[in-house]
Chain A
Amino acid sequence: MDRHQLVIDTLNKKERDVIPFHLDLSNSVRQRLIDYFGDPQFEDKVGNSLAQERNESFVDLGNYRERDMFGVVWNKEQEGDFGVVDNYLLTEPSLNNYTFPKPDEALIRQKCERLVHSHKDQFTMYIIGFSLFERAWTLRGMTDLLMDFLLNPAFVEELLDRIVEYNLAVMDIAMQYDIDCIFFGDDWGQQKGMIMGPGLWRQFLKPRLAKMFAKAKAKGLYVAQHSCGDVHEVFPDLIEMGLDIYNTFQPEIYDVEQMKREFGRDITFYGGISTQQLLPKASPEEVKAETRRLMTLLGKGGGYIVAPTHAIPNDVPTENILAFLEVVQHQ
């Protein structure tokens, strides 16, 4: 089966009898499944419709500390893949004492080559994670950045502009390859409503996202955006900017039916299988039933990639992952 075409069709709202899927895993669960299958390469064999590479690399500093490409040190002692920031670099609302990195060209080329050569029949996505708001707060601190929106708007504008500049330069290199999609990751949502609210999002983030989206679109690439939490207020904005794929789509947050009705013609939902309310605590039978329910509901008329709402965390039993796989692999 041509998994690539399957994704393209769903993006074009063409219903097929099979729905594309993707198994997103956290590192600890990946390790657990490698042991379970006895195969370090099992992920290449589950049948994922998507192939993804991330624009990211870390330097291991020992003692559970890793430094990212922007110089931020992450403490990874606790549960989770990226941990929390140890050292906020912008202690003042100013860029005077900070030098922005240049894109790591060798890394981007290596990852894009892998995407185009090893995943010929998959839909290929280059991920620019922490693409705007998150990059800004990992440098400045979330609390300070949120206050800066109101107290030091000029600084925020400058900081965000520099981040966009970096991302555009990354895209320049990545888009020399025959990839399908640029996938931006940036969390704006909380369980109910947006962290910074739709007003500040429109003022500070939207125009810059629009620039990045437009660059990809101009080259004929698809654009995907990840945000955890509840961002329904800006769906019309995202659609207006030409967004193709929205990722996470937490069903405990959205009225799935209504969202499909309202936005399903314009956008493809990628996610939906809850890592918050379903996968950790349901029985395998319930996981199967819910996966089927969402596939029927969201797959109608195309526009759905079935997947967990987040990289599956460690509290999800292996049986539930297998239950998900059984449904999506045997359509």
Chain B
Amino acid sequence: MSTFQEMAEAVISGNAKKVKEYAKQALAEGVSPQAIINDGLIAGMNVVGVRFKNNEVYVPEVLISARAMHAGMDVVKPLLSEAEVQDKGTIVVGTVKGDLHDIGKNLVRMMLEGAGYKVIDLGVDIAPDKFAQAVEEHRPQIVGLSALLTTTMVQMKNTIERLKDYPVKVMVGGAPVTQKFADEVGADAYASDAATAVEKAEQLMAS
């Protein structure tokens, strides 16, 4: 059978077709869907995250890896039992009100998905009330806010304020955002890139 190593390699090189084939093959050989996800697909995405952080690969490579990972997920997800669908945790992400930049936020979403989280992506230009609505509906453990403009960063503060009565942690990021700013607005975590966002999410889940 194809090894998990090969499947992970196919994710890393962004070869969606191969990932799909390997996943089907592994299923036929009796490998559990959960193992395929954890030891093949997620393992591959983890490597991509580290390489992205180290500037060994760039946004295009991450995008095609995420696409390959999803191709594999599509094969195995329908076979997971109800209990197994219990994801690692749920995270709501969105770009704050007035801000339409979404490439960074999309990468964060993909890396979080690649790490096994269920991610609800609200899109761009999301008002505090909409974040609150999504929190009520999806009961996430974490909300991730993205802002790329100094003119919209202030919406992070408003959103955190709006979410303060919910049992949810808030993580922030985007070009102008700094740890100092994150502390000032009372965010629970800040990450400067998508791979670190995964690390921070793991820490928030554990705390």
Contact = CB atoms under 8 A, between A and B. Distances in A.
A194 interface: yes
Given A84-B100, A147-B67, A194 B125 contact: no
A149 B61 CA distance: 9
Interface in A264-298: 275-277, 280-281
B63 A147 contact: yes
Nearest to B107: A143
A195 B100 contact: no
Interface of B: 14, 55, 57-61, 63-64, 67, 98-100, 103-104, 106, 124-125, 149-152, 175-176, 192-193
A107 interface: no
Interface string A143-163: 100110111000000000000
A150 B151 contact: no
| 8 cross-chain pairs, A with B, having the tightest CB-CB distances, nearest first | A197-B58, A191-B175, A146-B60, A315-B151, A84-B100, A280-B150, A149-B60, A147-B63
Contacts of B59: 146, 195-197
A59 interface: no
B55 A150 contact: no
Given A194-B58, A200-B58, A276-B175, A143 B99 contact: no
Given A150-B61, A195-B59, A196-B59, A143 B149 contact: no
Contacts of A191: 175-176, 192
A146 B63 contact: yes
A81 to B, nearest CB: 12
Interface in A3-53: none
A7 B190 CA distance: 43
A190 B175 contact: yes
Nearest to A84: B100
A275 to B, nearest CB: 8
A304 to B, nearest CB: 24
A160 to B, nearest CB: 15
A142 B105 CA distance: 13
A190 B194 CA distance: 13
B192 A83 contact: no
A314 interface: yes
A55 to B, nearest CB: 24
Given A84-B100, A142-B103, A195-B58, A277 B152 contact: no
Contact of A150 (B14, B124, B175): B14
Contacts of B58: 193-197, 199-200
A84 B99 CA distance: 10
Nearest to B13: A150
Contacts of A185: none
Contacts of B192: 191-192
The interface centre, meaning the residue of B57, B61, B67, B152 with most chain A CB atoms within 10 A of its CB, is: B61
A190 B60 CA distance: 13
Given A78-B99, A195-B103, A276-B175, A314 B60 contact: no
Interface string A131-148: 000000000001100110
B57 A197 contact: yes
Given A146-B59, A199-B58, A200-B60, 10 more contacts: A78-B98, A80-B149, A83-B100, A143-B63, A150-B60, A193-B58, A195-B59, A276-B150, A281-B150, A313-B150
A48 to B, nearest CB: 24
A240 interface: no
Contacts of A2: none
Contacts of A275: 150
B60 A79 contact: no
Contacts of B106: 143
Contacts of B100: 78, 80, 83-84
A277 B176 contact: yes
A276 B177 CA distance: 10
Interface in A63-107: 78-80, 83-84
Contacts of A149: 60
Interface string A175-211: 0000000000000001111111101100000000000
B151 A313 contact: yes
A154 to B, nearest CB: 16
A150 B58 CA distance: 11
A252 B23 CA distance: 45
A151 B65 CA distance: 12
A243 B14 CA distance: 35
B98 A79 contact: yes
B60 A196 contact: yes
7 contacts: A146-B60, A146-B63, A151-B64, A192-B192, A194-B58, A200-B60, A275-B150
Contacts of B193: 192
A280 B151 CA distance: 8
